[in-house]
């Protein structure tokens, strides 16, 4: 992803406790888990997921799509 988005835009986050079942899916199929920042810098608060007040910077969708395409292409190249 750093090649697509830039080294200053991609970093690893420390593990955190959450109620996410995605790890169980990875026991059966290949995959990756990404966290995408969607808050505009000028917003003075975060708008939590799964709430009626959720807001996102729709420009982040371009970054999300580029990230998913890049990881898919990289995985496909390893499957040759």
What percent helix, strand, coil does the chain show, rounded to 5? 40, 0, 60
Catalogue the long-range contacts made by 4-10 (C-beta closer than 8 Å, 24 or more residues apart): 4/66, 4/67, 4/70, 5/63, 5/66, 5/67, 9/63
Torsion, Cα 51 52 55 58, to 10 degrees, reads: 100
Confidence (pTM): 0.75
| pLDDT for the residue 16 | 77
| pLDDT for the residue 69 | 95
pLDDT along the chain (80 residues), means of 10: 90 80 90 88 88 93 94 90
User: Which DSSP string do the residues of 29-60 spell out, in sequence order?
Assistant: S-----------TT-SS---TTSTT----TTH
């Amino acid at each position: 992803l750093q090649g697509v988005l830039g080294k200053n835009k991609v970093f690893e986050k420390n593990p955190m406790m959450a109620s996410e079942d995605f790890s169980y899916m990875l026991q059966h199929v290949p995959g990756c888990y990404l966290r995408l920042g969607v808050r505009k810098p000028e917003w003075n608060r975060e708008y939590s997921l799964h709430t009626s007040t959720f807001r996102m910077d729709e420009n982040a969708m371009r970054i999300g799509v580029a990230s998913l395409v890049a990881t898919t292409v990289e995985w496909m190249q390893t499957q040759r």
